[in-house]
């Protein structure tokens, strides 16, 4: 590929023909005005699906960014700046000749105003960012204080290192397949075990001290689905009331804890190694729910509810990973969820807390306003 090194040492210039040639999954470029972006790695992440970008590859997407049907947020525009690779060549860009001529006649003050507009969407600068990206972030973020909330909700597409220790760092990362590999055998075993308990015909549910009735094995599917339904509520509550609880600006330790629990995911939402929960950490929470249910309900009743909830958790983690890295068919349920979840990351961080379902956002009035992708 021919790349002209321009009149400046930092900016590359391309002809429109060069940009137009990059229109495949292997190399996909787009224009925004005269700015050129290589969005190849973003194709599979795009909430509208990769076909939407590929259909406009090699061309100017300014109109699509401004909408309709969907006006992209400042965070989305800032995200795009990470893929900036250069400018249309001023000598070859026939479609932009008039624009460039006008730019050449602008006053210095006008040029400054234009640069300010571009800088609002600038990518992370290692030298000027609030943290030092060359060092682990876990022990830095607590010092951001009242700047933390705004900083953590400006997503970037780069890996995060949390700890200096390779051992601790490795334990914060989990490939997606580990979740079903660890938990689905337990789901299968406990499903068989709880069904066997119910089949013995000795499980009773006491409504009062004097009135009770048998829970037969035919109740197992209903109890299992009840557990999945309960999990969907737990999922919503954890996401909203724990993960999105604003830590006090003056508390270094709570800011650090928030970043480790969820803040790092909002800062780097496409870090594929941190999209699902490590089994070790998840086992503590899962164990707590198991003990609670067995304190409240007979074993034959509590176990099928628990195993349904555990299955719901596995489904949630797999859906969450897919919403970030999958390309669901347009119009499908997962397509809508993906668009919804991306809006949660980039535009509405204080709404849209449902992940595997948007059901609970409705009664709690945290639904993201509908927009079409």
Q: Are residues 347 and 280 in the same domain?
A: yes
Backbone angles phi, psi at 233, to 5 degrees: -75, -40
Residues 75 and 172 in one domain: no
Say if residues 65 and 72 touch (Cβ distance below 8 Å).
yes
- Domain co-membership, 186 together with 329: yes
CATH number, domain of 68, equals 3.10.120.10
Residue stretches of the annotated binding site for Zn(2+)? 239, 244, 262, 265-266, 320, 324, 341, 344-345
Count CB-CB contacts under 10 A for residue 106: 12
Q: What is the DSSP letter of 298?
A: -
Phi-psi region of 317 (alpha: psi -120 to 50; beta: other; left: phi over 0): alpha
Find where tokens 């669901």 sit.
Answer: 328
- What pLDDT score does 203 carry? 78
* φ/ψ (deg, to 5) at 302: -70, -35
Among the candidates 61, 94, 119, a domain finishes at 119
Please count the structural domains in the chain.
Answer: 2
- Whether 279 maps to a domain, the answer reads yes
**111 shares its domain with 175:** no
- Beta strand pairing call for 4-5 and 29-32: unpaired
Cβ atoms 257, 154 nearer than 8 A: no
Q: Is residue 130 part of a domain?
A: no
115 and 170 in a common domain? no
Task: Identify whether 373 is part of a domain.
Answer: no
Residue 134 belongs to a domain:
no
C-alpha span between 231 and 239 (Å, rounded):
12
What is the Cβ-side half-sphere exposure of residue 109, based on CA atoms within 13 angstroms?
0
Q: Where is the domain boundary, 99, 119, 139?
A: 119
Q: Which three-class secondary structure state does DSSP give residue 233? A: helix
Range of the domain at 343: 166-361
Q: Does residue 147 lie within any of the structural domains?
A: no
353 and 216 in one domain? yes
CA 363 to CA 360: how far, in whole Å? 6
Cα–Cα distance list, 13 to 9, 209, 364 (Å): 11, 82, 51
Phi, psi of 223 (to 5 degrees): -65, -40
Q: Which of 258, 255, 345 is nearest to 46 (CA)?
A: 345
- Whether residue 290 sits in one domain with residue 218: yes
Is position 125 within any domain?
A: no
- Contact of 278 with 176, CB cutoff 8 Å: no
- Do residues 171 and 115 share a domain? no
Do 190 and 79 reside in the same domain of the chain? no
Q: How far from 327 is each of 65, 207, 227, 354, CA to CA, in Å?
A: 20, 48, 29, 19
- Does residue 153 lie in a domain region? no
Q: Does 311 lie in the same domain as 192?
A: yes
The answer to whether residue 136 sits within a structural domain is no
How many whole angstroms separate alpha carbon 240 and alpha carbon 167?
30
Cα distances (angstroms) measured from residue 363 to each of 61, 228, 323, 340, 359: 37, 18, 23, 17, 8
Q: Which residues are annotated as a binding site?
A: 46, 72, 239, 244, 262, 265-266, 320, 324, 341, 344-345
- Phi, psi for residue 47 in degrees, rounded to 5: -65, -25
Please report, in tens digits, the pLDDT of each residue of the chain (373 residues total): 444 443 444 778 888 888 888 888 888 888 888 888 888 877 777 766 677 788 778 788 887 777 665 667 676 777 788 788 888 875 554 444 444 344 444 444 334 333 332 333 335 655 678 999 999 999 999 999 999 999 999 988 888 999 999 999 999 999 999 999 999 999 999 999 999 999 998 777 777 767 777 788 999 999 999 999 999 999 999 999 999 999 999 999 999 999 999 999 999 998 989 999 999 999 999 999 999 999 998 888 999 999 999 999 999 999 999 999 888 888 899 999 998 998 999 889 999 999 999 999 999 999 998 764 4
Same domain? For 92 and 175 the reply is no
Residues 180 and 90 in one domain: no
What is the distance between the alpha carbons of residues 175 and 126, in angstroms, rounded to a whole number? Answer: 28
Give 18's contacts (C-beta < 8 A, 6+ positions apart): 1, 2
Contact 322, 310 (CB under 8 A): no
Measured distance CA(13)–CA(89) in Å, rounded: 5
Binding residues for heme, as ranges, are 46, 72
Long-range contacts of 325-330, Cβ-Cβ distance < 8 Å, separation of 24 or more: 325/44, 325/45, 325/270, 325/272, 325/275, 326/44, 327/44, 327/49, 327/50, 328/49, 330/48, 330/49
């Amino acid at each position: 590929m021919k790349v002209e090194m321009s009149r400046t040492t930092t900016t590359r210039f391309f002809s429109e023909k060069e940009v137009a040639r990059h229109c495949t999954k292997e190399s996909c470029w787009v224009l925004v005005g005269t700015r050129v972006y290589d969005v190849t790695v973003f194709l599979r992440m795009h909430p509208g699906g990769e076909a939407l970008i590929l259909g406009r590859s090699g061309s100017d997407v300014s109109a699509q960014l401004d909408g309709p049907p969907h006006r992209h947020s400042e965070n989305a525009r800032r995200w795009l700046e990470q893929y900036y690779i250069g400018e249309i060549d001023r000598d070859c860009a026939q479609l932009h000749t008039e624009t460039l001529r006008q730019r050449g006649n602008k006053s210095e003050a006008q040029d400054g105003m234009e640069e300010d507009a571009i800088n609002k969407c600038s990518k992370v600068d290692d030298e000027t960012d609030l943290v030092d990206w060359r060092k682990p972030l876990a022990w830095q973020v607590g010092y951001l204080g009242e700047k933390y909330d705004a900083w953590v909700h400006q997503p970037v597409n780069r890996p995060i290192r949390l700890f200096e220790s390779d051992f601790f760092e490795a334990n914060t990362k989990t490939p997606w397949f580990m979740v079903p590999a660890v938990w689905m055998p337990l789901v299968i075993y406990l499903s068989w075990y709880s069904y066997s308990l119910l089949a013995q015909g000795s499980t009773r549910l006491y409504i009062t001290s004097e009135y009770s009735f048998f829970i037969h094995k035919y109740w197992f599917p209903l109890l299992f689905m009840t557990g999945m339904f309960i999990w969907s509520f737990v999922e919503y509550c954890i996401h909203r009331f724990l993960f999105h609880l604003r830590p006090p600006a003056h508390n270094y330790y709570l800011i650090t804890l928030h970043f480790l629990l969820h803040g790092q995911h909002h800062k780097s939402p496409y870090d594929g190694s941190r999209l699902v929960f490590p089994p070790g950490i998840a086992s503590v929470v899962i164990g707590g729910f198991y003990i609670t249910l067995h304190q409240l309900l007979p074993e034959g009743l509590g176990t099928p509810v628990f195993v349904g909830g555990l299955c719901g958790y596995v489904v949630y983690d797999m859906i969450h990973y897919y919403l970030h890295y999958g390309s669901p068919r347009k119009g499908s349920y997962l397509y809508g969820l993906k668009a919804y979840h991306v809006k949660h990351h980039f535009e509405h961080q204080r709404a849209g807390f449902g992940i595997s379902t948007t059901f609970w956002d409705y009664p709690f009035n945290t639904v993201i306003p509908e927009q079409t992708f």
